[in-house]
Structure 1
Amino acid sequence: MELIAGVSLHFIGAFSASVCYTPQKGTRRWSWQTYWLLQAGVCWLLLPVVVAFISIPHLRQVLQEAPASAMRSAFLLGAAYGIGGTAFGMAIRYVGFSLTYAISVGISCVLGTLLPPLYEGRLSAILGGPGGNVIIAGMLAGAAGIALCGAAGRLKEKDYAGLRPEEKSSYSFSLGIGLCILSGILSALYGFSLAQGQPIADVAAKYGAGHLQGNVIYIFSNTGAFLTTGLYCLYLHARHKTLHEYGGTADRKWLGKNYLLAALTGVLWYTQFFFYGLGHNRMGNYKFTSWAIHMIMLVLISALVGIVMKEWAGTKKRTTSLLILALVVLIAAVLIITYGNYLGGT
């Protein structure tokens, strides 16, 4: 039951991540960097501190006793994750959403899952233990499902090509693929950041934080991501002279709504981290699989949300069939990894 609860909590977190970008569609007369810096301030700077203060008993003592090396590693790896997120957004511009998602998330899923146990020297023991081969099979199935989603998305773009002409002047396959690979590698480091910050959570657990212990790590991992993201947004502000947008544009009626939508995005994005931590601490002996489950569910739920929002309406039969196949493979991947975790806990 604890394992089922962990997977269910990962589902809630992945759902929040899948819908967190939808409020952006409602903003008006703001540049990307204005919106992005505000939501990042909520997600990566404000909420990690506030939630840790509320949920971690004796937070001051925890931070005093926690290893400085763990804090430093979590922060620096989080900063690298922030760069990966920026590269993801840039890659979409050059090669489109579907290809970016398939390559970046696929790399992040595999690398972010295997890197922590590999670094700790436990990977061989895990793979040779009960359920190890099952987990690897589930991860491969997840990577295949993500790739199929990307292929289906590419077919959808072709289906809509005649109906929805797109601007091709910014298309650059070589640059886009390079950014996809960079994004996948650096985004995978977020899971590694949480693993490196575990000694901080262990101290929090000693003071009674229980399953909420992971919230203390976000103080370092998320603020690292905010640093690099914030610097890039400020660079864009300086380049495009858009800092004035925080005080409104010529039409100020959208200002309050824009602030609320940016804050909502930040809350939804942080919610995925909150439930990720709750689920991670219930995954038994193979907690490292949390990242794979989260990434696979993120792609799965994003596709389902797209179906509900009729984003796939009007596509050809082959596109719909490939999407259905991708969803089946992704669901199977989650079940296989969960079963591997069950075997590892017996």
Structure 2
Amino acid sequence: MISPNPIIGTGLHAIGGISAASCYLPNTKTKKWSWGTFWLAQALFAWIIAPLMIGWLTVPDFWKILLNAPSKPFWMAFLLGAVYGFGGISFGKAIVHIGYSLTYTLAIGISAVVGTILPLIIFGGLGDFFTKPGGDVVLLGMIFSVLGVIICGWAGFKKEKDISKESLNKSGFNMMLGLLLTIVAGVLSGVFNLSLEYGQPIADMAAQNGAGHFEGNSKLIISTAGCFVVNFIWYFIAGVRQQTLQEFLPKKEMTKLTLFKNWMWSALAGTMWCFQFFFYGLGHVKMGSFQFASWVLHMSMLIFFSYIVGVIMKEWKNVTKSTYVILIIGLLILIISFCITSYGSYVGEEMLHTA
């Protein structure tokens, strides 16, 4: 039997957050590839190759479980994963228009709320989760998390005001379009958690078959496959229209070595994206009866580390001191929210097991 430990679960969510927050950095290393070409390549690894490999390596009788999976959970997980696919498209485009940090803050902040509340409403138990032992502390942690996201978002808006108009024009900055894409991405990203929840009966099959902590790896490929189908169709059509599919072929300005490196960077990006949910699955299991808090915890970790990555990428190089202060306050509040959520989950688990 798996022993719940929310503190370890929080640590695993942190590792997943680091992986997800830095998964698009390899794009900066690709050469002579458009964004759509990179996106198609990394999508193949993120949503097909890596989930299949992880499932095959960690889940006993992985292929048999997929073949015998109940129909409704399978197709609901796939279709909701496809809905999330449109969110992935919007997310990638939003980064181009309003930057890395701001996109992550707003999109993942929205996702944290939608992805946590929606499954509780659909599957029931919204009130029960917060009235159980430790539930009030976890709720406080979630409130702090939302507050931290809002303050980080405020810092993001101030950052864009601090940057000169000239540099914004050069970077393709477009606040209105970026915000619209970010809202769409955030809402649809929350749907991905709903997709994973619908696939839980498949994970239960894997657990009964001895998958242990890795039970979530059995359902991940179903959700991500739906996401891949949507992205593949979208970017393939875009590639035909924009004549960018030829970037996959070696030519004078694209040597075989450059092409190989581009594929390797894309493979790294996609694998890092997938590994966030590898660690999410491990952390989710460890959260015990407070698994409903996993999504907001994971998303908050994502925001926290995305800002660290943004600083490393020098996105905050030309901001004012007051903007930096607001950013630091927001990040500190997020750290406090992690501690409160983890503590509340831990205390709740202890009280439930000693009752």
TM-score tier (shorter)? over 0.9
Please give the alpha-carbon distance, in whole angstroms, between the structure 1 residues aligned to 2:331 and 2:266: 30
Counterpart of 2:8 in structure 1 is: 5
2:162–2:320 Cα contact (<8 Å) kept: yes
Against the structure 1 CA distance between its residues 186 and 165, is the aligned structure 2 distance closer, same or farther, given a 3 Å change threshold?
closer
Percent of residue pairs identical: 42
SS at match of 1:115: helix
Shift of 1:3: 1.8
SS at match of 2:28: helix
In the alignment, which of 226, 229, 232 is matched to residue 231 of structure 2? Answer: 229
Mean Cα deviation higher: 329-338 or 148-157: 148-157
Against the structure 1 CA distance between its residues 309 and 332, is the aligned structure 2 distance closer, same or farther, given a 3 Å change threshold?
same
Shift of 1:255: 1.2
Count of residue correspondences? 345
Structure 1: 5+ residue runs without aligned partners?
A: none
Counterpart of 2:54 in structure 1 is: 51
Q: Which runs of 4+ in 1 moved over 6 A?
A: none
SS at match of 1:28: coil
SS at match of 2:215: helix
Question: Are residues 1:218 and 2:239 paired?
Answer: no
Question: Are residues 1:209 and 2:211 paired?
Answer: yes
Shift of 1:54: 1.7
Shift of 1:268: 1.0
Counterpart of 1:160 in structure 2 is: 163
Counterpart of 1:320 in structure 2 is: 324
Counterpart of 2:279 in structure 1 is: 275
Please give the alpha-carbon distance, in whole angstroms, between the structure 2 residues aligned to 1:305 and 1:93: 16
Please give the alpha-carbon distance, in whole angstroms, between the structure 2 residues aligned to 1:96 and 1:212: 34
SS at match of 2:84: helix
User: Pairwise CA RMSD of aligned residues?
Assistant: 2.0
Structure 2: 5+ residue runs without aligned partners?
A: none
Question: Are residues 1:134 and 2:137 paired?
Answer: yes
1:98–1:154 Cα contact (<8 Å) kept: no
Against the structure 1 CA distance between its residues 123 and 247, is the aligned structure 2 distance closer, same or farther, given a 3 Å change threshold?
same
In the alignment, which of 15, 18, 25 is matched to residue 15 of structure 1? Answer: 18
Question: Are residues 1:337 and 2:341 paired?
Answer: yes
* 1:47 maps to amino acid: A
Please give the alpha-carbon distance, in whole angstroms, between the structure 1 residues aligned to 2:31 and 2:305: 27
Please give the alpha-carbon distance, in whole angstroms, between the structure 2 residues aligned to 1:101 and 1:132: 27
Please give the alpha-carbon distance, in whole angstroms, between the structure 1 residues aligned to 2:41 and 2:143: 37
Shift of 1:232: 1.1
Counterpart of 1:122 in structure 2 is: 125
- Deviations along 1:20-76, one digit per CA (max 9) or x if unpaired, are 111100111111111111110011011111221121112233234431111111111
Against the structure 1 CA distance between its residues 223 and 15, is the aligned structure 2 distance closer, same or farther, given a 3 Å change threshold?
same
- Deviations along 1:259-279, one digit per CA (max 9) or x if unpaired, are 111111111111111111111
In the alignment, which of 241, 244, 247 is matched to residue 246 of structure 2? Answer: 244
Please give the alpha-carbon distance, in whole angstroms, between the structure 2 residues aligned to 1:229 and 1:343: 42
Please give the alpha-carbon distance, in whole angstroms, between the structure 2 residues aligned to 1:39 and 1:238: 18
Mean Cα deviation higher: 34-43 or 83-92: 83-92
TM-score computed with the length of structure 1 as normaliser:
0.93
Shift of 1:172: 5.8
SS at match of 1:41: helix
Shift of 1:140: 2.1
* 1:70 maps to amino acid: P
TM-score computed with the length of structure 2 as normaliser:
0.91
Against the structure 1 CA distance between its residues 34 and 153, is the aligned structure 2 distance closer, same or farther, given a 3 Å change threshold?
same
- Deviations along 1:99-120, one digit per CA (max 9) or x if unpaired, are 4333322110111012212211
2:108–2:302 Cα contact (<8 Å) kept: no
Question: Are residues 1:91 and 2:82 paired?
Answer: no
